[in-house]
Amino acid sequence: MSTFQGNASGTEAVVSLPEVTYFDGTSYYLLDGQARLDFSTASTGNIKFKLTSEYPLSIIRPPFSNYTETVENPANRILLSFSVNFPSCTLPVSILYEIE
């Protein structure tokens, strides 16, 4: 299950990502849980994964791009999508939320 909440000014959002693991060719990094999107523009910024272990900054705070929110039909659903740009790969994220 994933949750999403954005602030009124559109500069920050929090999303929970239940199953994210990044492999850089040598090490695996478990990035499950809450992450904060800090926007530089309406569609780009940096994502900050909340972790208890010490991972490199390029892993816990990579840039994101192509952010969109699309209201689906029926109107109580929102499709959220963006790309996380890790050092050695790009992870596309697409999540469909129901608004209650």
Helix (H, G, I), strand (E, B) or coil at 3: coil
- Average pLDDT score over the chain: 88
Predicted TM-score (pTM) of the model is 0.86
pLDDT tens, residue by residue, 14-46: 999 888 899 999 999 999 889 999 999 999 999
Alpha-carbon gap, residue 49 to 30, rounded angstroms: 10
Mean pLDDT of 70-81: 84
Backbone angles phi, psi at 57, to 5 degrees: -60, -35
pLDDT tens, residue by residue, 44-59: 999 999 876 688 989 9
What ranges do the domains of the chain cover?
A: 4-98
Mean pLDDT of 72-80: 83
